[in-house]
Chains A and B, each alone.
Chain A
Amino acid sequence: MPSISDIPALPAIHVAIVEDDPGFRDALSKAVQASPDMQLASMAGTRAEGLAMLQGPPADVLLVDLGLPDGSGIDVIVAAVAQWPSCNIMVSTTFGDETHVMRSIEAGAAGYLLKDSSPAKMIDEIRSLASGGSPISPIIARQVLARFRGAAATTAPAAPAAPGTAGADQGAILSVREKEVLDYITRGFTAQEIARLMQLSPFTVRTFVRRIYSKLKVTSKTEAIYEARTLGLLPD
């Protein structure tokens, strides 16, 4: 894991939290406040409060819980992508399971935070996210690979018919290095090990993951458009 010394000195990271569990919210806010390079910007306990919060000044990192009492955190993620475009969104999850994480990433999240992590680990993750890195697990890596294989299969026949989406399609193809990173992760190697194997810095590996996530977002959008066209919901 990257240590503080890896991160160049930056202005304070503004952290916003949408979380209904008061215990976790307190632990998290305490950890943020205890960190000298971070500042707790705002907090919300429900989906409605979260959406209202997005009307205010944007934070650098937004932590969102998916299971909110009045709706899904996915809505907050989607709204944040539109209203706080420069914000790094992070979903907080108990298990980091494939279903929740993939949905969040496709909605626009750049990472996830395991709720049982130690406070130090949490702060590290937030810091890494703020500086452009993203975490990943082997199961997620395998899912991302599968998603890109599926996207390549579905967009290939549609591409000649829709030249306007060519740019988006190009973004939906993984580079060889990106694919290599994902392959290593599915085989159980850590970011540090991969960095050594590929002669990169551990932080670069994490930025690779961020780039892959944004491509996945595009891909899932393209897929949605393709599917909508196939279903006749959108004009060609």
Chain B
Amino acid sequence: MLRMKIFSSRLFANALFTVSVMLLVAVGAWYVQGDGEAASASLHLTQADWQDADGHSFSAPVPVMNSRDLPSRWQHAALPSALPLAPSPPSLPSPESATAGEKAVRTTWIKVPVTGALPAGPLVLYGIRIKTDGTVAVYANGRLAYRTQQRGQLWNSLFTPLWFTLDQHDGAEPLKEILIRVEHAPETPVGLSSLWVGTAEALRGRYYLRQWLQRELPATLSAAFMVVGIFALFVWFRRRHEMRYLLFFNLAAVSFVGHLHYYVSLPIVTDWFAWLTANALLWLLTVVHLFLRQLHGRPLTWLTCTLVGVTLAASVLSIPVLGILPVYPSTSLLVPFMYAVTVLMGVLVCTMGAKASWRRSREGMLLTIGVGVAVLLGMSDWLLHNNVVNPEGWFLGAYTNAVTFAMFGGLMYRRYIDAITEVEQINASLAQRLQAREAELEISHRLLREAALRQTISEERQRLMQDMHDGLGSSLISAIRSVEHGGVSDAKVSQILKDCLDDLKLTIDSMEPVEADLLLLLATLRFRLEPRFEGSNITLIWDVQELPTLVWLEPSSALHILRIVQESIANILRHTRADRIRVSTARDEDGGGVSVTIEDNGQGFDIGKALDSAAGRGLHNQQRRAKAVDGRVSWSSDAGGTRFTLWLPLVRKIAAV
């Protein structure tokens, strides 16, 4: 049954996992679908001709431009291609060229012939990127169809694929040629990926995949990293002593800011944003290094000093208002130098981190690997930027953030799992310790109970032995002696034995549960004495009233009280000629105690004399017993009768022994 339950719950968990993963895969597949039809419904353009022309300023593209109107010095290129920089191309013959020399602008024309069967229906043009720092205009069949980067290169241009619909007019001739006009600085080369023409359905998958992997996924991860960083910040608010949470937030913030240039459509100019973008890499390295130090616990002082020094120097010197150190997009040689320094720092942090973490901190190793991967990604970006690899490649630097996030997410995941395990272990051991303590307590309680029970039994035995010795034992001895010596009537012996039995009954009654009720105790005594009054002429007047509970009334004190009252009544029966006995109870007006009064109408006796004589033993016994329960007895007697009073406290000063 239980196994069945475990099995089914495991099955459910597996099913849930599979469904979730399938869901994500299905969405991804649906998003990029249609790639397969590309071959039939699209045309891949990989051949182009190009030429350069120098001007002196940027100008708006003319609406209609026929490639035949351009000089016929086309050079062939196979796409994708980074077009080589022509050292001195001939000037475009135009009136403006006369004033050239202030600031030269180069116009590169790229002619892509469309040969082959085009699919029917509306067409789109797709290309991975046109890599340039200038404006781009695209002509289809000589007519201006699309413009982009009209104010020059934007920060996100490199990561944005080319994608637009080719307007087709009814009856117009089919697409024969695509002409691209690029205006740019003469010293920066132009790169062009291969182009695709086809239906939107056929190319959408290709476009979406590029768009998603190059821009949207890194952006999402970057945002997620930022959110987790904010979470860490809030953790730090409550745990100020744990600097690593603040460092984590700082890392997330720097990462986020340092990668903004992959997503924002700001023009690339030398300003604060360029400064930020250029220096964020160094900041990031510094923070990661500080984090690593926390993980492996080695100070690495010189590396820290160097790194902080370089970072501070670069950050201060490149502040736009100072402008001592140039930043991208400056074409100064110092820019690639600074990137080289950054890469060197990255390699240093990675190597030293690995050395310090080796066999010391698995988390440190993990992070070091992350730094290494990030450095490699940055280098791949550098290669693409500088046209070392073809312009259709991926800018993987966008994933640096994702790698950092994954590494730190991994660290957090481990911490979280460890924390849960630890809490579970602590709980388990707590429960175990609690159980052990309970067992110990139970044992000591049992021992205490046993000791208390032994004590009670011992006390009870002493009490009963004392009682038997004084009462039953001595009565029996006197009975035996009487019988042995003879001369005693059977009736007398019978009476002695009856007294013995009465004694025994009182002893038993004292052990009955009277529930601290003095009245019940008196009632029991009356019930026992009833046969004595039967056949006598004595009238017993029972004039009792409710009494408060005597909490201290337990067997030994009960027996004392029974004996006191019994003795009192026996004295009346034995020594007086009373024919009326009145038993009454009352409680003190001040509430301090209760009293039992026994009055008779006998001839009375001299109390002082009786107490002094040997016959007064019974009275002394009453006094002694009353004292034993913190009570007192008193007599008042005259010729009209005797009045005996037993006073008992409601509360005893010390617990009864």
- Cα distance A187–B523 in the bound complex, in angstroms: 6
- Cα distance A185–B519 in the bound complex, in angstroms: 10
The reply to whether A137 and B542 contact each other, CB–CB distance below 8 Å, is: no
The reply to whether A98 and B531 contact each other, CB–CB distance below 8 Å, is: no
B-side interface mostly: helix
The reply to whether B505 and A138 contact each other, CB–CB distance below 8 Å, is: no
The reply to whether A142 and B515 contact each other, CB–CB distance below 8 Å, is: yes
CB nearest to A138 among chain B residues: B523
| B534 close to A (CB within 8 Å) | yes
| B423 close to A (CB within 8 Å) | no
Chain A positions 69-101 with a Cβ under 8 Å from a chain B Cβ: 95, 97-98
- Chain A contact patch, size range: 20 to 34
- Cα distance A186–B515 in the bound complex, in angstroms: 12
A121: chain B residues within 8 A (beta carbon)? 531, 534
Comparing B49-57, B263-271, B506-514, the segment that makes contact with chain A is B506-514
Interface string of B171-209 (1 = CB under 8 A from A): 000000000000000000000000000000000000000
The reply to whether A188 and B544 contact each other, CB–CB distance below 8 Å, is: yes
A143: chain B residues within 8 A (beta carbon)? 513
Interface string of B498-528 (1 = CB under 8 A from A): 1001001100110011110101101110110
| B612 close to A (CB within 8 Å) | no
Q: Taking each of A118, A137, A138, which has the highest tally of chain B beta carbons within 10 Å of its own beta carbon?
A: A138
Chain A positions 149-187 with a Cβ under 8 Å from a chain B Cβ: 185-187
B519: chain A residues within 8 A (beta carbon)? 186-188
- Cα distance A113–B544 in the bound complex, in angstroms: 27
The reply to whether B544 and A187 contact each other, CB–CB distance below 8 Å, is: yes
| A35 close to B (CB within 8 Å) | no
How many residue pairs at the A-B interface have CB separations less than 8 Å?
Answer: 55
Interface string of A110-153 (1 = CB under 8 A from B): 00000011100100000000000000011100110000000000
The reply to whether A139 and B531 contact each other, CB–CB distance below 8 Å, is: no
| B530 close to A (CB within 8 Å) | yes
| A222 close to B (CB within 8 Å) | no
CB nearest to A186 among chain B residues: B520
- Cα distance A1–B501 in the bound complex, in angstroms: 22
The reply to whether B512 and A139 contact each other, CB–CB distance below 8 Å, is: yes
The reply to whether B508 and A188 contact each other, CB–CB distance below 8 Å, is: no
B530: chain A residues within 8 A (beta carbon)? 190
A185: chain B residues within 8 A (beta carbon)? 523
| A189 close to B (CB within 8 Å) | yes
- Cα distance A190–B513 in the bound complex, in angstroms: 20
| A193 close to B (CB within 8 Å) | yes
B508: chain A residues within 8 A (beta carbon)? 95, 97
The reply to whether A139 and B524 contact each other, CB–CB distance below 8 Å, is: yes
Given the known inter-chain contacts A117-B531, A188-B523, A188-B526, please indicate yes or no for A139 contacting B544, CB distance below 8 A: no
Residues of A within 8 A of B (CB): 1, 95, 97-98, 116-118, 121, 137-139, 142-143, 185-190, 193
Residues of B within 8 A of A (CB): 498, 501, 504-505, 508-509, 512-515, 517, 519-520, 522-524, 526-527, 530-531, 534, 542, 544, 546
Complex A-B, nearest 8 residue pairs according to Cβ-Cβ distance, in ascending order: A188-B523, A138-B523, A188-B526, A139-B512, A137-B527, A95-B508, A138-B524, A187-B519
